[in-house]
């Protein structure tokens, strides 16, 4: 009986020592995973996920605090990429955080704008040009379509306009397949 006790205690001590040493030797600092998650997120910085931006959301996912299906701008494709990276099953987008919309950009009606700069302060990517009492303009190429500027505008002069498809941006569609009778999942 005592022999058994000694054996188990000895084993425990030995393994404890080895693991303790390993814990020091292979200590992990920081979390490189956050950057990899952040690289997948669409960077709209819209906050629909419930976090103040894409990076904070990435951090939350890496920490296991947030689910992967809270990003409507990333769409199902984004969820799938996150699922692939993290080795989990993809799941449908959580409707609580909104639904995916066609990519839009903010447009300021320059006749109405009073130059209050509220939208400039709201824009997460500094895509609105202008100064106090001066008319503001959205830099279309840099607008992420986050809609954060729409609410603060006191005169409701900002509208979200879906990007029009033109020839350089036109995409070939998925071929229509007559036999693809998809059974509802």
Q: Point out which residues bind another protein (CB under 8 A).
A: 3-4, 7-8, 11-12, 15, 18-19, 22-23, 26-28, 31-33, 36, 38, 41-45, 53-55, 77, 84-88, 124-127, 129, 137, 139-142, 144, 165-167, 169-175, 177-179, 181, 183-185
When the beta carbons of 92 and 178 are compared against another protein, the nearer one is 178
When the beta carbons of 32 and 154 are compared against another protein, the nearer one is 32
Q: How far is the CB of 28 from another protein (least distance, A)?
A: 5
Six-digit token pair at 81? 């990429």
When the beta carbons of 50 and 52 are compared against another protein, the nearer one is 52
Q: How far is the CB of 97 from another protein (least distance, A)?
A: 18
When the beta carbons of 132 and 183 are compared against another protein, the nearer one is 183
Q: How far apart are CA 143 and CA 127, in angstroms?
A: 6
When the beta carbons of 33 and 150 are compared against another protein, the nearer one is 33
Q: How far is the CB of 96 from another protein (least distance, A)?
A: 23
Q: How far is the CB of 154 from another protein (least distance, A)?
A: 22
Q: How far apart are CA 58 and CA 77, in angstroms?
A: 16
- Neighbouring residues of 158: CB distance < 8 A, sequence distance ≥ 6: 106, 107, 108, 109, 119, 138, 149, 150
Q: How far is the CB of 173 from another protein (least distance, A)?
A: 6
Minimal CA–CA distance to 69: which of 111, 36, 41, 35? 41
Cα angle 123, 105, 73 (rounded to 5 degrees) comes to 85
Dmax of the chain from CA atoms? 92
| Cα→Cα distances 154→4, 14, 67, 116, 121, Å | 79, 69, 35, 8, 13
Give the count of beta carbons closer than 10 Å to the beta carbon of residue 128. 21
When the beta carbons of 87 and 154 are compared against another protein, the nearer one is 87
């Amino acid at each position: 009986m005592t022999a058994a006790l000694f054996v188990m205690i000895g084993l425990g001590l030995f393994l404890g020592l080895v693991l303790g040493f390993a814990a020091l030797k292979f200590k992990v600092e920081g979390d490189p995973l956050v950057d990899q998650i952040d690289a997948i997120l669409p960077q709209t910085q819209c906050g629909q996920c419930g976090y103040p931006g894409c990076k904070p959301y990435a951090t939350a996912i890496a920490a296991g605090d947030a689910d992967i299906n809270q990003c409507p701008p990333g769409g199902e494709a984004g969820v799938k990429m996150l699922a692939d990276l993290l080795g989990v099953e993809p799941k449908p987008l959580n409707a609580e955080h909104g639904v995916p919309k066609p990519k839009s950009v903010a447009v300021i009606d320059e006749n109405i704008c009073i130059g209050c700069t509220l939208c400039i302060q709201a824009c997460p990517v500094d895509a609105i040009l202008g100064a106090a009492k001066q008319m503001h303009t959205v830099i279309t190429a840099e607008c992420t379509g986050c809609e954060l500027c729409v609410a603060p505008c006191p005169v409701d002069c900002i509208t979200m306009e879906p990007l029009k498809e033109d020839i350089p941006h036109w995409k070939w569609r998925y071929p229509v397949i007559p036999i693809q009778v998809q059974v509802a999942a």
